[in-house]
Structure 1
């Protein structure tokens, strides 16, 4: 179940995802990059990384994924994923998003007492919409007076790139911000965890995914890749595999798409 945040939080939180399973079977989940960072809140201790089976903390923040991350949930579980706008991790944790890239950060190490009630709500089976309402209150209170001019700048650049489906040149960004390419790149990496070029490529990839989902006329993959701004299909396939771990056809056949960047693997 995907739920939107309060409207005034949409510049900081993309959406909430509530997942619950009362069964005993393992679930294999994949989180892949869409340019977002986030927070996983869980009411159980049964979450592991995919291949290595390293035990994960019940609640944790994740930085920009370098491609994709696989998780295994064993037995019954309930969790809420809070998918951030990419710069919100920097605001919330006051750390460089570049340093947090591809990192799992235990929530107990940073905001243990603030987030503990939400874990308890999940453990006791509270209505997820109630939990998300309380999370909206929590994030609203946190944001009061904490938005800097740099955050406003990065948010404006991000919106420009989203509006143009990732196709924004370095020269366009220089004219838009008044900063040199290198200076903006440093700022972008600090607040977003990515360079503008890398973020643009992720936006373009997800634009292609949206075109693919809406492809009622059965246009070829090559045609859709051209529409999304790719110069050739091989570039698209490489991008797709690097960022999602699947080919476009494999992704389309994935039945349980939990969110734009979260799927269940069978």
Structure 2
């Protein structure tokens, strides 16, 4: 069973992107693409409170505050509901968004435990060399940081075991269905029981297959909602049984209806 295939999931944080300052991003196009969704950089002004809205995306983000006197690094996990994350004012952040099926970060704690927290000091939970923060902070611009980090990733990638390949294969199926596939279909596809797949998902990415599928559907729907001109009443059900199920799931994760989110986003943008 192959774990690698073309990525067709592009998770985003639209409110963070448009509410921070000096935001730039780069989407890798090489082999790193199977591990990293996005490199990005932004600043928080010294007079800003540093509160930014974050939405569920199923990913893990490494955040390096490159402050010349007080640099630090944290890992931010995906929330299960739209919420506010706190960022340090007067700081330029360099960030790397990893796909949940990544195989580079050697975690020191169970991922199910990690996703229950917003931001955790990076080196407390991931076994990475301590020079990483200093090296990132030493580069003068975004492009050099991206170039160096891509090279660094090649040196730490781990060999995939069968469990990782199984979960990665199932995740690709979830991506290709825009989150509409259910665990029984994954069980039939792989020959493993629902219970076994659920257990391996929680061990590998922290989320259950059902929860992760809902997040993928949410991300897909947000991309559509923010990039179409048709009225919200005309929106499709995004893989749910009907539109009411779509609205219920959207509000569960976002605490807003699709129309409210769209209006709020464009009002604040």
TM-score interval for Structure 1 and Structure 2 normalised by the shorter chain? 0.7 to 0.9
Could you say what secondary structure the match of 1:173 adopts?
helix
1:106 corresponding residue in structure 2: 121
CA distance change for structure 1 residues 11 and 120 in 2, over 3 Å: closer, same or farther?
same
TM-score, normalised relative to structure 2: 0.78
Tell me which of the two structures has the higher relative contact order, counting C-alpha pairs closer than 8 angstroms and 6 or more residues apart: 1
Equivalent position SS for 1:10: helix
Distance across 2 between alignment mates of 1:65 and 1:73: 15
Aligned equivalent of 1:230: 240
Secondary structure, aligned partner of 1:39: strand
Q: Of residues 76, 87, 110 in structure 2, which corresponds to 1:62?
A: 76
1:11 aligns with 2:26: no
Q: Which moved more, 1:181-190 or 1:31-40?
A: 31-40
Query: d(CA) in 2 for partners of 1:142 and 1:229?
Result: 37
Alpha carbons of structure 1 residues 90 and 4: separation in structure 2 relative to 1, 3 Å: closer
Query: Structure 1 residues 86 and 179 mapped into 2: Cα distance closer, same or farther (>3 Å)?
Result: same
Instruction: Indicate if the aligned counterparts of 1:43 and 1:77 stay in contact, CA closer than 8 A.
Output: yes
5+ residue gaps, structure 1: 48-56, 257-264
Q: Report the equivalent of 1:207.
A: 220
SS state at 2:235 partner: helix
Compute the RMSD of aligned alpha carbons.
Answer: 2.9
Instruction: Give the distance between the partners of 2:253 and 2:68, measured in 1 at CA.
Output: 28
What is the Cα deviation at residue 96 of structure 1?
2.4
1:119-177 deviation line (CA, Å, top 9, x unaligned): 5337xxx111101111111111100x432222222111111111111111223111211
Shift of 1:29: 0.9
- Closer, same or farther: CA 29–22 of 1 in aligned 2, 3 Å: closer
Which position in structure 1 is the counterpart of 2:64?
41
Quote the residue 1:53 is aligned against. Answer: none
Whole-angstrom distance in 2 between the partners of 1:32 and 1:221: 20
Count of residues in Structure 1 that have an aligned counterpart in Structure 2 = 242
Name which of structure 1's ranges 75-84 and 244-253 shifts more when overlaid on structure 2.
244-253
Conserved? CA contact 1:37–1:89, under 8 Å? no
Contact map agreement 1:63 1:97 (CA 8 A) in 2: no
Q: CA deviation at 1:249?
A: 2.8
Could you say what secondary structure the match of 1:29 adopts? strand
| Residue 117 (structure 1) aligned to one of 134, 144, 149 | 134
